[in-house]
Amino acid sequence: MLNRLTISELTAKLAKREVSAREVMQSCLDQIGRVDGKIHAFISHDDKDALAQADAADRLLSQGGGNASLPLLGIPIGIKDVLAVKNQPLNCASKILGKFISPYDATVIEKLKAAGAIVFGRLNMDEFAMGSSTENSAFGVTKNPWDISRIPGGSSGGSAAAVAADETIVSLGSDTGGSIRQPAALCGCVGLKPTYGRVSRYGLVAFASSLDQIGPFTKNVSDAATMLGVLSGVDPRDSTSVPQPVPNYSAALDGKIKGLKIGLPKEYMIGGLDAEVKAVVDAAVKKFQELGAEIVEISLPHTDYAVATYYIIATAEASANLARFDGIRYGLRVDGNDPVELYSKTRGAGFGDEVKRRIILGTYVLSSGYYDAYYLRAQKVRTLIRNDFLKAFEKVDAIVTPTSPTAAFKIGEKSDDPLQMYLSDIFTISCNLAGICGISIPCGFTKSPKLPIGLQLLGKPFGEEMLLKIAHAYEQNTGWHKEKPTLT
């Protein structure tokens, strides 16, 4: 089945004309038809447009296309419903955007199209990327392909589930506090969060502008390296985009990690960590030692403050960013007798409970008399957290941690307890606060039921080469990434 293959496997077959891009795309669409009724990874997909893109790719392939300048020629890629794709719906899994159609492409979409990719479908997510379970969507809950009674993680749950269920070869997500890495861990695929500024955010609907980053979900580390090479680069339309050279990430995947130092933060092996997750992560750490890496205990002393710091900064920025959804310019409009009533009725009807909760929290911490006590102090603590990482990276080449404290939990299990839900991201949010890069790779399973467990690797700012090198070496010496869910 072509939909089960990786980018590298498909590009080889496409280049030799053993298969056509239309056959690859049709294989993904057939799989969506078979399984998406059970997992609901997609909000929508336009089969006619997807197949037309595939036919265009086949014409290029017949003319000798598919070279280094088109590394994704004929590869289907699903898109999280927070990224602008021209002439496609853009809802952020919210009612408030109504029937809004994007008038332009995000920079990452332009880059994918320029690389020959087939950009199709809108993938489900937590509304405005606010959540850890993909239960906060106006379009319904996405389910984990390994066990449809459980959540796929969030906020990019649809993106992770679609790759894990082989409905698409690759997908794009966004990561504000772990929204790529955590669902990748819970669904058993690879999720990469680049360094802040490595990938343009132009065309990403903002949740928290100083934390958001776009990245890929893939079936293996090699594909993540290929995707990062396509997505990276400076963009004058994004003022936070950094003019760093883009290396050949794939060339770094040589399997050699002997002599490298990998840090193990003592603050991350905490009491709330599930025993099975800890055992699997411990085994992965031993595997790195067997491969010749040196494990070094490190300290990230301000870790305890990360969750509180994150939820002050993220909600404050969300409050400011979501002020634009007012019923005046686009999307849902619920009329009132005056502008204030129009705003309140529109936002009351258009936003879900979790989005409202975060807007209220954010507005509170930014309000007069509280700004210094909360937001300003949180920014200072954020600097301390970043400095912890920079100090650690003076001693080690990468840091290893669990991605999530537990495997996927049951749908509805934490819906009534927002604090417990927020703690699902305890291992991932520091990476966003520090602006560094992180990746989650499969490292094992729980016993009963069989659920994926993810291993998180964190790297220096713009240290994706090293991160991918270490992740790839581990992957090549284990078989976890080859395991597939069985959807009945």
Strands (DSSP E) along 51-186, which ranges? Answer: 76-80, 118-123, 170-175
**Residue of 27, 80, 111, 219 marked active site:** 80
54 to 81, 83, 162, 168, 297: CA distances (angstroms): 21, 21, 19, 13, 49
For 391-402, write each residue's pLDDT tens digit: 999 999 999 999
Q: What is the DSSP letter of 198?
A: T
> Which SS3 state, helix, strand or coil, does residue 401 take?
strand
pLDDT tens per residue across span 98-131:
999 999 999 999 999 999 999 999 999 999 999 9
**What are 132-164's pLDDT values in tens digits?**
999 999 999 999 999 999 999 999 999 999 999
- pLDDT for 65 equals 67
How confident is the model over 336-379, as pLDDT tens digits?
A: 999 999 999 999 999 999 999 999 999 999 998 888 889 999 99
Domain boundaries, the chain: 2-257
Tell me the C-alpha distance between 39 and 32, whole Å.
Answer: 10
27, 133, 179, 232: the catalytic one is 179
239 given a catalytic annotation? no
pLDDT of 486 reads 86
Give me the mean pLDDT over the 451-468 stretch: 98
The CATH classification number of 2-257 equals 3.90.1300.10
* pLDDT value of residue 137: 97
Question: What mean pLDDT is reported for the chain?
Answer: 95
Percent share of the chain, pLDDT over 90: 91
Beta strand pairing status for 76-80 and 170-175? parallel
Confidence tier at 165 by pLDDT (50, 70, 90): very high
**For residues 356 and 336, is the Cβ–Cβ distance under 8 A?**
no
- Please identify which residue in the block is written with the tokens 């790719």: 57
Active-site residue identified among 20, 27, 137, 155:
155
Active site residue 179: yes
Q: Residue 69 — pLDDT band, cuts 50, 70, 90?
A: confident
Q: Is the pLDDT of residue 439 over 80?
A: yes
Whole-number percent of the chain with pLDDT over 70: 99
C-alpha to C-alpha distance for 46 and 158, rounded to whole angstroms: 16
Mean pLDDT throughout 61-81? Answer: 88
Q: HEC states along 383-404?
A: HHHHHHHHHHCCCCCEEEEECC
Predicted confidence (pLDDT) per residue in 462-479, tens digit: 999 999 999 999 999 999
The per-residue pLDDT for range 196-218, each reduced to its tens digit, is 999 999 999 999 999 999 999 99
pLDDT in tens, 242-268: 999 999 999 999 989 999 999 999 988
**Burial of 350 from C-beta contacts in 10 A (0-12 / 13-18 / 19+):** buried
The full length of the chain comes to: 488
What band does 67 get if pLDDT is binned at 50, 70 and 90? low
pLDDT of residue 487: 78
Active site residue 99: no
Q: Which of 448, 452, 449 is nearest to 479 (CA)?
A: 452
pLDDT-derived band of residue 456, with 50, 70 and 90 as boundaries? very high
